[in-house]
Structure 1
């Protein structure tokens, strides 16, 4: 195998890597757009709800009406909106993570296949007496493959941890909402009884 053929093989491997990078960049932009749309919608809803609450407070005739505006149910509704928003964000991030993992897996597989093909071609066309060099070269290549596999495992573990953390955050918010409602319910009953 001559130098031009070796260079062509390496160029082919590099171009596949660039394709994967472009694919990841495109996916990242799409997900950023989805997150921006979610943030816009959530901000708009929060602004409308805040304006409604302010209007109700301004038109209240006495302090009792103001306290009735901020009941546990209205606070729970705000909390539920926050949870719904977080779930939507988590879904976008999960989808993005799955897409990223799939691209990483495919890229690693392509790199491994490309390098293996390149190694086989070099070994088949190696001059006589280069067995020692080829053996050490294959050892280095094997170590590189292990590094790819470690990266694959680490990226999957990192994404699983991120998803678990997002789920725990949602559960924590829901638990806090339930606690607020639970603690506010007896107080509102005692006010009505008095």
Structure 2
């Protein structure tokens, strides 16, 4: 195998890496766009609800009516809206993580196959007496492959942790909403019976 063939194999491996990078960039941009759309819609809803609430508060003449406007149901609706937003964000992140993990797996597989093909070609065309060099080269290659596998395992663990944290955040918001509702229910019953 001459230098041009070796360079061509390495160039082919690099081009596949660039394709994977472009694929990841496109996925990241799509997810950023989805998150921006979610943020825009959530901000718009919050502003509309706040404007309605402010208009209602400004038109009342009795302070008791203000308390009725800002009742538990209003707060619960805002909490439910926040929880729904968090679920949508989590879904976008989860989908993005899956896509990223698939690209990482495919890229690692391609790199491993490309390097293995390259090593086999070099070994087949190696001159006589280069057995020691080839052996050390294959050992170094084996270490590099283990690095790829460690990266794959670390990325899967990072994605699992991110999903777990998103689920915990949703559960925390829902738990807080339930606590507010539970705490407010006896208070509203006490006001009604008084």
Question: How does the TM-score come out when normalised to structure 2?
Answer: 0.99
Distance 1:51 1:91 in 2: 29
- 1:59-98 alignment to 2 at 5 Å? 59-98=59-98
The answer to whether 1:163 aligns with 2:163 is yes
Q: Which runs of 4+ in 1 moved over 4 A?
A: none
- 1:148-187 alignment to 2 at 5 Å? 148-187=148-187
Where does structure 1 lack aligned partners over 5 or more consecutive residues?
none
| 2:133 equivalent in structure 1 | 133
Query: For each residue in 1:70-114, what CA deviation from the matched residue of structure 2 results, as whole angstroms up to 9, or x when unmatched?
Result: 111111100000000000000000000000000000000000000
| 1:111 equivalent in structure 2 | 111
Deviation at 1:8? 0.1
Taking only aligned residues, the RMSD between alpha carbons, in angstroms, comes to 0.4
SS of the residue 2:129 aligns to = coil
Distance 2:58 2:19 in 1: 58
| 2:4 equivalent in structure 1 | 4
Deviation at 1:192? 1.3
Deviation at 1:60? 1.1
Distance 1:156 1:110 in 2: 18
- 1:14-29 alignment to 2 at 5 Å? 14-29=14-29
| 1:122 equivalent in structure 2 | 122
Question: How does the TM-score come out when normalised to structure 1?
Answer: 0.99
